[in-house]
Amino acid sequence: MDVKTETLRLLKNNKNFAARVENLLKLIEEKDKVVNSFIALNPDVLQQARQIEGLIHENKAGMLAGLVIAVKSNICVKGLITSCASKTLQNFKAPYDADVVRNVKQEHGLIIGMTNMDEFAAGSSGETSFFKPTRNPLNPELIPGGSSSGSAAAVAAGFADLALGTDTGGSVRNPASHCGVVGFRPTYGLISRYGLIDLAMSFDTVGVLSRDVYGAALLLEVISKGKHFDATSFPNAEQYFTKAAQQVLQANLESFKHLNIGIVKEFETLTDKTILKVINNAIEKFASETNSNIVELSLKHLNLGVQTYYPIVYTEFFSATRRFDGRKYGLPIENVSGSEVLRRILGGREISKAEFKGRYYRKARAALKLIKQELTDAFKKVDFIASATVPRPPHKLGTKLSVEEMYSYDALTIPASVSGIPAGTVPVVKQPFAIGLQVMAPEFQDVKVLKILRMFELL
Q: Considering the complex, what minimum distance in angstroms separates the CB of residue 116 from ligand GLN?
A: 14
Q: Considering the complex, what minimum distance in angstroms separates the CB of residue 85 from ligand GLN?
A: 12
Q: Considering the complex, what minimum distance in angstroms separates the CB of residue 157 from ligand GLN?
A: 21
DSSP E strands in 227-292: the ranges are 260-264
In the complex, residue closest to ligand GLN by CB: 171
Listed residue (122, 168, 174) closest to 144, CA to CA: 174
Return the active site residues: 72, 147, 171
Reported as type and span, the H/E element at residue 458 is helix 446-458
Reported as type and span, the H/E element at residue 71 is strand 68-72
Q: Considering the complex, what minimum distance in angstroms separates the CB of residue 247 from ligand GLN?
A: 27
Q: Considering the complex, what minimum distance in angstroms separates the CB of residue 69 from ligand GLN?
A: 19
Query: How, if at all, do strands 293-297 and 260-264 pair?
Result: parallel
Q: What is the dihedral of CA 141, 456, 264, 436, to 10 degrees?
A: -10
Which one, 137 or 169, has the nearer CB to ligand GLN?
169
Per the CB < 8 A criterion, the answer to whether 7 and 215 are in contact is yes
Sheet holding 162-167, edge to edge: 38-41, 110-115, 68-72, 162-167, 205-210, 182-185, 423-429, 435-440, 384-388, 260-264, 293-297
Q: Considering the complex, what minimum distance in angstroms separates the CB of residue 74 from ligand GLN?
A: 9
C-alpha–C-alpha distance, residues 391 and 408, integer Å: 8
Which one, 69 or 199, has the nearer CB to ligand GLN?
199
**Interface with ligand GLN (CB under 6 A):** 121-124, 147, 166-171, 199, 313, 410
C-alpha–C-alpha distance, residues 324 and 425, integer Å: 34
Q: Is 239 exposed, middle or buried, given 0-12, 13-18 or 19+ CB atoms closer than 10 A?
A: exposed
